[in-house]
């Protein structure tokens, strides 16, 4: 993914996060709740590390230094992380999402001690559910936040690197 890069989120990125979370269409599809992102304090809490192993950052296009989306890896325990992220609405269905997703997962596996990655996806977020399956995640159950249902997917490094679709993207963008 020669055109993508990743930088850690800072307070300077709040306007970018606001642009996503204040968009009612974007947030409706994501499974996030708009009321959780009304204030600067809420956004700062979201982008801040809660454990030293957390990784929270922005994916951007190196060609034009344009922010594409965010990718957060929340450390769970024992080498396990949970991923969440999102990209700008105008970039949906243009390949940025899947390339960013593969780029970020590869970044995590290459730079951190991660034995298992979890993805918790809102039941109506079909785009993310398809990306998970396409990149080697396996559905392992579901859970509820308030009344909303979320599917839980799990990915190991070996499943990721043995996935032909992932290898196609990684090799295409060296």
Per-residue pLDDT of the chain (174 residues), as tens digits, is 468 899 999 999 999 999 999 988 888 888 899 899 989 999 999 999 999 999 999 999 988 889 999 999 999 999 999 999 999 999 988 888 999 999 999 999 999 999 999 999 999 999 999 999 999 999 999 999 989 999 999 999 999 999 999 999 998 866
Q: At what angle do helices 126-134 and 96-111 cross, to 10 degrees?
A: 50
Handedness of CA 48, 173, 63, 29 (dihedral sign): negative
Question: What pLDDT score was predicted for residue 24?
Answer: 87
Q: Give the pLDDT confidence of 62-99 residue by residue, as tens digits.
A: 888 899 999 999 999 999 999 999 999 999 888 889 99
pLDDT at 28 (0 to 100): 83
Q: 4-8 and 138-145: which strand pairing?
A: unpaired
- CATH architecture observed for domain 4-172: 3-Layer(aba) Sandwich (3.40)
Looking at residue 174, its pLDDT comes to 66
Question: What is the C-alpha to C-alpha distance for residues 158 and 72, in angstroms, rounded to an integer?
Answer: 21
Tokens of 67: 């922010």
Q: Would strands 116-122 and 148-155 be described as parallel, antiparallel, or unpaired?
A: antiparallel
Question: Is the pTM above the cut of 0.75?
Answer: yes
Give me Rg for the CA atoms of the chain.
15
């Amino acid at each position: 993914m020669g055109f993508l890069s990743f930088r850690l989120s800072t307070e300077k990125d709040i306007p970018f996060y606001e642009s996503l979370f204040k968009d009612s269409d974007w947030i409706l599809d994501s499974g996030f709740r708009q009321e959780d992102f009304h204030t600067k304090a809420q956004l700062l809490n979201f982008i801040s590390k809660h454990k030293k192993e957390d990784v929270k950052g922005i994916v951007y296009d190196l060609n034009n230094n344009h922010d594409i989306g965010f990718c957060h890896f929340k450390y769970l325990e024992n080498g396990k992380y949970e991923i969440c992220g999102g990209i700008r609405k105008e970039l949906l269905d243009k390949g940025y999402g899947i390339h960013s997703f593969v780029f970020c997962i590869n970044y995590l596996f290459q730079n951190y001690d991660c034995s298992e990655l979890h993805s918790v996806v809102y039941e109506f977020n079909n785009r993310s559910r398809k990306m998970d399956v396409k990149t080697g995640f396996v559905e392992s159950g579901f859970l509820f936040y308030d009344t909303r249902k979320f599917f839980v997917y799990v990915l190991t490094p070996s499943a990721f690197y043995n996935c032909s679709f992932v290898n196609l993207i990684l090799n295409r963008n060296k």
